[in-house]
Amino acid sequence: MMQLEDILSSTACDQQEPEKVLEVILPYQHQQYSFETIRDRLLSVSSDVELLQRDMNDKFEAILDYEARERLQNLFRTLHSVQLDVMKIQCDIAFTKEQCAVVNATSNDPTIQKVNELANRERSLRNSLQRSKFKVIQDFFEKLAEYLKVSLAASRRSCQMLVNSYLHPFDWAYYQQAILLLRFCGKCVIHIKKFERLYNSNFEIVCMHFKQPIEQMDFNNFIQFQESYPIESQLEVVIPPNEKLDLKDLLAKPHLKEIVECHDSREPEVFGSAYSQLSAITIDCCKLVVDLNMSYIEAHLTDGINIDKLNGESLNITNLEEQHQLPLYAFAPQEYITQIGQHLLTLRKQTESIDDGADESLRFALNSLQHAQDIALDLESCESVTEIIMKCIARHCVRSLLGRTSKSVLSKLTLNGKRQLSTDALYLDNVLEDLGLLDASEPNVEKFKSLLA
């Protein structure tokens, strides 16, 4: 029995040596075994096999019983942990309900309601008092916005006069006036944001007032002589204990300087009305700067991009054979395109004379160009005000020229007409190249270059 158990439980019962098991049941003999002998032998070991099978079953059931107990214990621990969490949440809910009941009871208390009402009234009065202190600033900017609208309308009428008399020299005084208005609008918008931040700083101020009543102010001084007649020197601020300071000296205080000079993209709320008006005027000033130049340029393009003029009818060349015989050196840029080129060169000089790299106001105001036109321009990549204005006018000029040289126009041009147009376009191309204004990324540049062929 033990020999059979040892063999069956050892590696000897693997598939490599099954004959060893057989030797235990049927020892080797010289004669052959009969069927009865084999049956007797098997009957004698059957009880051992059954006993061994029962023993194995008992061991297997013991293993299953151990695993089942382990799983049940783990489930019990998890259930206990969940019960503790539920109890904690129930305690929190009960505590929150108690707190809500206390708050509701407190809020319904007439005394507490009266205290809250007085606190709200105090906040309202404090805000009203703060607004009254800054009311003079609100009135000043709204009055200034009205004056700027009148000045902008006058400049617009001047622009229309240039359109009607484009053959006369361009009056650069109008352009300087438009730039002056644009710079001042940018400065006003920057000031409004500073006053908004000063208002929100809760800095204790007794009152604010201008040295001269607003009704008696000459607002033209703030625009024409903004460097020598700034708002900072005209506004007087009184702070406790009755210390009078110019706004410039007040904003120089380290604490306030850090507050008002911070960059905040949010639109003002207290001075929202004046901010909206001046922002709209700034956009109109940007449009005016573009329109002043483009009205002059487009008038010359309208006069020059003429099928009869380009085809050379003034030379009485009507024979097609004679057109082919006209040499290339006979072509020269027409006056309209040279006038445009000269205007761009002068525009560069005029803008450089007012361009100051440290002029935050004009650069800030020119950011409104993105709302004043439909030509894309990366303002951040431009290093100066001159570059911004020149690239803007150049792109408008190229687009306007392409709009006048459509396929229908080109189909009506003779060979000489196309050569003349190519000569004019080549002249403008040279001017734009010299000024560094042709950007390959601009989609219209490729179309413009095709006119040179």
Q: What is the chain's percent helix, strand, coil content, to nearest 5?
A: 75, 5, 25
The mean pLDDT value for 43-68 works out to: 76
Higher pLDDT among residues 362 and 53, named by residue? 362
**Is omega for the bond preceding 254 within 30 degrees of 0, making it cis?**
no
In sequence order, what are the residues at sequence separation of 6 or more whose Cβ sits closer than 8 angstroms to the Cβ of residue 345?
Answer: 431, 435
- Asked if the model's pLDDT at residue 253 lies above 60, the reply is yes
- Pick 262 or 30 by higher pLDDT: 262
DSSP per residue, 252-295: TSHHHHHHHTS---SPPSTTHHHHHHHHHHHHHHHHHHHHHHHH
The separation between CA 306 and the C-alpha centre of its own chain, rounded to angstroms, equals 43
Specify burial of residue 70 (Cβ count, 10 A radius: 0-12, 13-18, 19+): exposed
**Taking residues 310-330, what's their average pLDDT?**
55
Q: Which amino acid is at 324?
A: H
Domain ranges of the chain: 2-91, 126-277, 305-450
How high is the pLDDT of residue 27? 58
Buried b (16+ CB within 10 A) or exposed e, 56-65: eeeeeeeeee
φ and ψ at residue 405, rounded to 5 degrees: -125, 50
Whether residue 245 contacts residue 207, with contact meaning beta carbons closer than 8 Å, is answered with no
Buried b (16+ CB within 10 A) or exposed e, 79-103: eeeeeeeeeeeeeeeeeeeeeeeee
Residue 195: phi and psi, rounded to 5, are -65, -35
> Could you tell me the two tokens for 68?
């089942």
Q: Kindly report which listed range (182-191, 229-238, 267-276, 426-435) carries the lowest average pLDDT score.
A: 229-238
pLDDT tens profile 369-393: 888 777 777 888 888 899 999 999 9
pLDDT at 159: 74
Whether 162 has a pLDDT exceeding 80, the answer reads no
Pair 42, 28: CB distance under 8 Å? no
Q: What is the pLDDT of residue 243?
A: 87
